[in-house]
């Protein structure tokens, strides 16, 4: 009878208020997440994917929570059935006289043991389902926190949004236009410098000159530029001046005149001093030069 009284004290485990609160909270979070889809449509690609992943997790966990709550309800119904069977058994035991009860005590005890075993199994399953529900609620709370953090980041990102693509394109276009303007300025400057160089070449070389021909002649090893030709001519003029001074000095001294030509290295012309002086007195300075037979080199 003590066992029966203890079995009578078994009550149906109802869904706690915390579960109902978690369900309501979860439904509210899902509604808020669905409603905020339009606001978050302009966010970055990575954040959007993370938010969708979190939403999917929340939906899956809510479905699993609903399934677990249904399982809890089923177990509660089984417990109520067992309670009813215990009550019916108590009624049967109370209706049976004590003498008969003592005779059939073995049958009653076996049934009580079987019912208590079922009750223990059901309680163990109920505890396991409760633990699962608690774990899922903890996961849901964690996902709620992650979702809030992600929403805060997205809101901050919308407030501190970078410039629109049109602004970026406008900035790039302005930069390209600035570069084009600088390039045009450089081009005009180079054209002016080219015109000035052509004018200088025209003044130095002459009007009729071909730049391509001059560029091709520079590759020839025997080609001499204007500066080299001037230096060569200056050296030649200097040599000629020296020769002329030597000839004048020899002529003044009355010694034989020795000068070099391009064909003959040295040519000695000897004439008497009297003939030279007579030619100088007769024909003057110019006649003396002609009588002396001096040839221009």
Residue 242 in tokens = 């020296």
Residues 153 and 62 in one domain: yes
Q: Is the dihedral of CA 285, 290, 295, 296 positive or negative?
A: positive
Residues 155 and 231 in one domain: no
Stretch among 89-93, 94-98, 186-190 having the lowest mean pLDDT: 94-98
Work out the angle at residue 24's Cα, subtended by the Cα atoms of residues 18 and 28, and round it to the nearest 5 degrees: 140
Residues 156 and 23 in one domain: yes
pLDDT at 226 over 90: no
| Digit-coded pLDDT (tens) for 156-171 | 766 555 556 678 888 8
Instruction: Please name the helix (run of DSSP H) or strand (run of DSSP E) that holds residue 268, with its range, or none.
Output: strand 267-269
pLDDT at 5 over 80: no
pLDDT at 91 over 70: yes
Tell me, yes or no, whether 122 lies in a domain: yes
Cα gap 84→55, rounded to integer Å: 43
Q: Give the pLDDT of residue 290.
A: 37
- Asked if 150 and 51 touch (Cβ cutoff 8 Å), the reply is yes
Tell me, yes or no, whether 167 lies in a domain: no
| Digit-coded pLDDT (tens) for 170-218 | 888 889 989 999 999 999 899 898 888 888 877 777 667 666 776 676 6
237: which DSSP letter?
A: H
- On average, the pLDDT of the chain sits at 70
pTM, to two decimals: 0.27
Q: Give the pLDDT of residue 292.
A: 39
Q: Give the pLDDT of residue 281.
A: 43
pLDDT at 4 over 80: no
Tell me, yes or no, whether 285 lies in a domain: yes
- Asked if 54 and 22 touch (Cβ cutoff 8 Å), the reply is no
* Confidence class for position 241, pLDDT limits 50, 70, 90: very high
CB-count exposure of residue 137 (10 Å: 0-12, 13-18, 19+): buried
Residues 152 and 243 in one domain: no
pLDDT more than 90, % of the chain: 6
Q: Give the pLDDT of residue 237.
A: 95
Q: Give the pLDDT of residue 128.
A: 84
Tell me, yes or no, whether 216 lies in a domain: no
* Confidence class for position 140, pLDDT limits 50, 70, 90: confident
Cα gap 64→205, rounded to integer Å: 98
- In this predicted model, which residue has the larger pLDDT, 72 or 270? 72
Q: Give the pLDDT of residue 294.
A: 36
CB-count exposure of residue 153 (10 Å: 0-12, 13-18, 19+): middle
Residues 150 and 9 in one domain: yes
Q: Give the pLDDT of residue 6.
A: 45
| Digit-coded pLDDT (tens) for 244-283 | 998 888 888 877 666 555 444 444 444 344 444 444 444 4
Cα gap 271→257, rounded to integer Å: 9
Residues 20 and 153 in one domain: yes
Q: Which of 161, 189, 205 is the last residue of a domain?
A: 161
Tell me, yes or no, whether 277 lies in a domain: yes
Q: Give the pLDDT of residue 185.
A: 92
Tell me, yes or no, whether 80 lies in a domain: yes
Q: Give the C-alpha distances (Å, rounded to integers) separating 246 from 238, 250, 272, 295.
A: 12, 6, 19, 14
pLDDT at 152 over 50: yes
Give the residue carrying structure tokens 């080299």.
Answer: 228
- In this predicted model, which residue has the larger pLDDT, 17 or 280? 17
Residues 234 and 150 in one domain: no
Q: Print the domain residue range for 258.
A: 226-292
Cα gap 190→197, rounded to integer Å: 10
Tell me, yes or no, whether 13 lies in a domain: yes
Residues 119 and 36 in one domain: yes
Q: Give the pLDDT of residue 160.
A: 55
Give me the mean pLDDT over the 221-240 stretch. 82
Q: Give the pLDDT of residue 279.
A: 42
Q: Which of 106, 141, 161 is the last residue of a domain?
A: 161
Q: Count how many domains the chain has.
A: 2
Residues 143 and 38 in one domain: yes
43: left (phi over 0), alpha (psi -120 to 50) or beta: beta
Q: Which of 113-117, 217-221, 253-257 has the highest mean pLDDT?
A: 113-117
Q: Which of 144, 161, 178 is the last residue of a domain?
A: 161
Tell me, yes or no, whether 217 lies in a domain: no
Residues 11 and 120 in one domain: yes
Non-local CB neighbours of 87 within 8 Å, separated by 6+ positions: 8
Query: β-strand 267-269 against 257-259: which pairing, if any?
Result: antiparallel
Residues 233 and 118 in one domain: no
Residues 90 and 17 in one domain: yes
Cα gap 96→38, rounded to integer Å: 72
pLDDT at 232 over 80: yes
43: which DSSP letter?
A: S
């Amino acid at each position: 009878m003590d066992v029966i009284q203890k079995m009578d004290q078994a009550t149906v485990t109802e869904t706690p208020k915390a579960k109902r609160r978690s369900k309501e909270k979860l439904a509210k979070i899902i509604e808020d997440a669905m409603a905020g889809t339009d606001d978050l449509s302009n966010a970055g690609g990575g954040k959007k994917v993370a938010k969708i992943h979190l939403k999917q997790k929340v939906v899956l966990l809510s479905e699993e929570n609903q399934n677990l709550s249904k399982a809890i309800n089923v177990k509660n119904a089984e417990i109520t059935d067992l309670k009813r069977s215990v009550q019916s058994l108590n009624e049967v035991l109370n209706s049976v006289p004590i003498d008969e009860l003592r005779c059939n005590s073995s049958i009653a005890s076996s049934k009580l043991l079987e019912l208590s075993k079922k009750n223990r199994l059901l309680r163990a399953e109920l505890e396991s389902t409760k633990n699962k529900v608690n774990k899922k609620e903890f996961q849901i709370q964690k996902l709620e926190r992650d979702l809030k953090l992600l929403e805060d980041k997205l809101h901050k990102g919308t407030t501190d949004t970078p410039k629109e693509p049109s602004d970026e394109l406008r900035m790039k276009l302005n930069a390209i236009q600035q570069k084009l303007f600088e390039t045009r300025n450089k081009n005009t400057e180079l054209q002016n410098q080219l015109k000035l160089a052509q004018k200088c070449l025209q003044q130095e070389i002459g009007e009729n000159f071909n730049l391509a021909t001059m560029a091709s002649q520079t590759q020839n090893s025997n080609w001499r530029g204007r500066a080299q030709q001037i230096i060569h001519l200056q050296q030649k003029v200097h040599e000629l001046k020296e020769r002329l001074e030597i000839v004048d000095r020899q002529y003044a001294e009355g010694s034989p005149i020795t000068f070099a030509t391009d064909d003959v290295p040295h040519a000695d012309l000897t004439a008497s001093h009297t003939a030279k002086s007579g030619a100088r007195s007769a024909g003057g300075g110019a006649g003396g030069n002609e009588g002396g037979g001096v040839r221009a080199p």
